[in-house]
Amino acid sequence: MTDRGRQAGTDIEPARPERKTSAEEMRWEEKVLKPALERSPQRQKTFTTLSGVPIEMLCTPADLAGFDYGRDLGDPGEYPYTRGIHQTMYRGRLWTMRQFSGFGTPEDTNQRLHYLLKAGQTGLSIAFDLPTLMGYDSDHTLAEGEVGKCGVAVSSLADMETLLAGLPLEQITTSMTINSPAAMIWAMYLVVAEKNGANWQKISGTTQNDILKEYIAQKEYIYPPQPSMRLVVDTIIFSARQVPRWNPISISGYHIREAGSTAVQELAFTLRDGIEYVEWVKRAGAAVDEFAPRLSFFFNAHNDLFEEIAKYRAARKIWARLMRERFGARNPRSWTCRFHTQTAGCSLTAQQPYNNVIRTTLQALAAVLGGTQSLHTNSLDEAWALPTQEAVTLALRTQQVLAHESGVVNTVDPLAGSYFIEKLTLETERACYAYFNKIDALGGMVAAIEKGYPQKEIHDAAYAYQQAIERKEKIIVGVNEHVTEETRPIEILVIDENVARRQRAKLAELRARRDNARVQAGLQALGSAATTDQNLMPYILECVRAYATLGEMCDVLRRVFGTYEEPAFR
């Protein structure tokens, strides 16, 4: 590691020399390029990435003035990890193929999980339905019409037992996309492990648990930001001390991008969220190297191949620098930005759905060339509904073809040294630090969210993108160009209302059968602890063991913490 990195300010991009066009380049531009352009001009005046970053026709060594291999890239597995967090990358081990999956009852999803493992998937990823994500039981009035629709319904430990039946919890890693009630759902997973004899020291997986991006983008929040952050801090500290191989948070840009942000906004807001979590956990008394090695990230893979690759490479470099310089982390594992990638759901089109297979393939390629640790590839039918088994199998096959047939896995960071990729990586990095400075000036991410800053930035970008499509400045095949009249050529998955009926019946039976005195005592203890600064995980675990429902636990905290409603930002 160089001293230059250490001397630089914590967040300030090191100064770089100006681009100087060489005499040879000037000659080429004047004598070769100019006449060529006169004969046949370019198709359009300017070119940009999908996010609107200008792209020059040609990048040359002049674009990398001051570029330093050791400082800007480093070798794989070494600071600043631009080339990848592992020395051998996919030559050692392929990425984890992890299809996000969940629908209907826990029985339905359990079958799908077993099927995916049999089909060669190497990790599990569970999607919960909206009532679960919002902390309501399946029998709540607000759950009507929503049970099992966008994911699996889980209202209690009994549901979690069914969901995980027959799965070897010490051998597989499980990712759970759950945020506001992450502590409760994670506690259910831990208790199932405990009852199955799986050791908490050995089990591994991820809870998304990223509440900041909920306020920013996905909007599935229950409590106000401050108490929500306390729950996140409690889970991170509990995890570091009791479930050491668990990733207690997946700091997510995916949803920020889906809400319409640019690539740079996705990266900047996600990493700035990461800074916020580190600051909060440190303030709660944990040392940075105690928990930082288990912070994980989650990015989107959108259509623009090079822009995405640059984003992943910049992410690793920036995070390494933040952790080492801003937070003084000494353990190299604290410096690494480990991330999951999902191809862009918002890029899928309802029109000509087979085109989505091609889009997903290119996006997955970007993630792999960008050095992802795990990957979800979307299915062709997801602009319409949750995927059918056939569609999800094709999506998994896409990853397997990339891994075993394309050859892109055979060398580490194959695009390094490309003038264009390196320039784009540096520009992404610079733009990201500019956002950090703005958010720091607003008083940090929680304060910025309360002022509506990231929300407004994303909305403006989303509106500009939509307008560009409507003006045909951006072409989406099958949507605003190459349009055909067609009826939908594919079958889609339908979740019927029987799922809700079955879930309601199971809950009624559970509420009658369990030890209700133990449930009430547990809930009361949780409520009291919430008014102190004790870690809430032990109290939540006790409620779960007593088969208190998700809704009951969340309601106790609703009473203590209050609920959040987004202010109107224009």
**In this complex, which beta carbon is closest to another protein, that of residue 255 or of residue 324?**
255
429 near another protein, judged by CB under 8 A = no
Among 127, 150, 233, 391, binds another protein (CB under 8 A): 150
Among 351, 355, 361, 400, binds another protein (CB under 8 A): 351
Among 126, 130, 431, 449, binds another protein (CB under 8 A): 130
Q: Which residues are 300's β-sheet partners?
A: 342
Instruction: Please choose, from the candidates 388, 421, 391, the residue with its C-alpha nearest in 3D space to the C-alpha of residue 55.
Output: 421
488 near another protein, judged by CB under 8 A = yes
CB of 353 to another protein, least distance (A): 10
DSSP string, 369-423: HTT-SEEE---TTTTTSSPPHHHHHHHHHHHHHHHHTS-TTSSSSTTTT-HHHHH
Residues 28-87 that bind another protein (CB under 8 A): none
CB of 507 to another protein, least distance (A): 17
Beta-carbon count within 10 A of 286 CB? 18
486 near another protein, judged by CB under 8 A = no
CB of 40 to another protein, least distance (A): 33
CB of 489 to another protein, least distance (A): 12
Residues 249-268 that bind another protein (CB under 8 A): 258-260
**In this complex, which beta carbon is closest to another protein, that of residue 421 or of residue 495?**
495
**In this complex, which beta carbon is closest to another protein, that of residue 466 or of residue 520?**
466
**In this complex, which beta carbon is closest to another protein, that of residue 216 or of residue 416?**
216
- Is 284 within 8 Å of 209 (Cβ atoms)? no
214 near another protein, judged by CB under 8 A = yes
DSSP string, 175-231: EEE--TTHHHHHHHHHHHHHHTT--TTT-EEEE----HHIIIII----S-HHHHHHH
CB of 222 to another protein, least distance (A): 11
**In this complex, which beta carbon is closest to another protein, that of residue 245 or of residue 459?**
459
219 near another protein, judged by CB under 8 A = yes
* Nearest-angstrom CA–CA distance, 415 and 258: 26
What are the CA-CA distances from residue 291 to residues 121, 166, 246, 315, 401 (Å)?
29, 31, 11, 19, 36
**In this complex, which beta carbon is closest to another protein, that of residue 184 or of residue 322?**
184
CB of 543 to another protein, least distance (A): 23
Among 86, 98, 149, 423, binds another protein (CB under 8 A): 149
| Residue positions counted in the chain | 570
388 near another protein, judged by CB under 8 A = no
Q: How is residue 306 written in tokens?
A: 């090079």
- Is 320 within 8 Å of 79 (Cβ atoms)? yes
Q: How is residue 561 written in tokens?
A: 């913490």
**Per CB under 8 A, which region of 87-95, 183-191, 347-355, 414-422 contacts another protein?**
347-355
- Listed in sequence order, the residues at least 6 apart from 137 whose beta carbon sits closer than 8 Å to its beta carbon are 131, 143, 155, 156, 507, 549, 550, 551, 552
CB of 221 to another protein, least distance (A): 8
- Is 372 within 8 Å of 95 (Cβ atoms)? yes
- Listed in sequence order, the residues at least 6 apart from 6 whose beta carbon sits closer than 8 Å to its beta carbon are 325
**In this complex, which beta carbon is closest to another protein, that of residue 279 or of residue 460?**
460
492 near another protein, judged by CB under 8 A = yes
* Nearest-angstrom CA–CA distance, 348 and 120: 25
Quick one: DSSP state of residue 48? B
**In this complex, which beta carbon is closest to another protein, that of residue 470 or of residue 515?**
470
Helices (H) and strands (E) in the chain, counts: 23, 10
| Strand, coil or helix: 127 | strand
**In this complex, which beta carbon is closest to another protein, that of residue 334 or of residue 455?**
455
Taking residues 510 to 549 in sequence order and writing x for each that binds another protein by CB under 8 A, - otherwise, the string is ----------------------------------------
Residues binding another protein: what is the number (CB under 8 A)? Answer: 41
Quick one: DSSP state of residue 250? E
CB of 245 to another protein, least distance (A): 31
The contact set with another protein (CB under 8 A) reads: 130-131, 133-134, 136, 142-146, 149-150, 214, 218-220, 258-260, 346, 349-351, 383-385, 459, 462-463, 466, 470, 476, 479, 487-488, 492, 495, 497, 565-566, 568
